[in-house]
Structure 1
């Protein structure tokens, strides 16, 4: 059984380990998540969730309100959006459908809020597997953008009517 639970400082060692794995680096090469600090913070604009399969953490999802997020990473944006980052940390759980299930849970969580009309993701331009993953989930390509010096594709999943 797969579920999402709030990340905590107790996940620090595991998240640091995942940050050293090549498949994670390939998706986010320049990122420093500052886990030691961020796992202790709980800003109203962010949820950090561990993906848990049968009691074992296998990945992470972050859901943010890009309008309220303090760095303004997404720039000018409507208040009716959410943005999601996801990664499966353990290689043996890649390409097994767990990311799809976890994204389904995260998407449902976002769209439970009546004011949310769309969810954004920003995979690297060269991450063809991520593009296919998001497209299978119904995300539509919006544009190519540079975020923090990295070429990304922006996709959006619109709330079903």
Structure 2
């Protein structure tokens, strides 16, 4: 998980895959700030602009950082889509995450959505790796895709081809 004390007001929208296509709600969220903002405040306006900026900035490449506002009430954000997610699905994911983050962490100045804790991530990857022999034994490539993580191997580059 990316988090730095230098970005205390950060919003992380981590889209592992297009939840709306599956009709599922977010996998996880965490409201980590004890500071709240009030509706119609400057921070609220900065946050609105930030989420709109991420919705347009992230889908072409699958990753984006953005900041809006100034000073202590600056809103910082990051969004990431899985490498094999289409630009259209990435857009849907970031739009949905932008709505959900406000619903799940109302007025919180710090939140993460669709992110796994370190132990949960390890557990997810361990389970996916344990499935590789069932699907891909003696194969030249294979992939186990889950809702929160995926693992794969190929003879060629997987991302950027």
**Shorter chain as normaliser: what TM range?**
under 0.3
Q: Give the TM-score normalised by the residue count of structure 1.
A: 0.27
Task: Work out which of the two has the higher radius of gyration on C-alpha atoms and give 1 or 2.
Answer: 2
**Higher relative CO (CA 8 A, sep ≥ 6), structure 1 or 2?**
2
Structure with the largest fraction of helix? 2
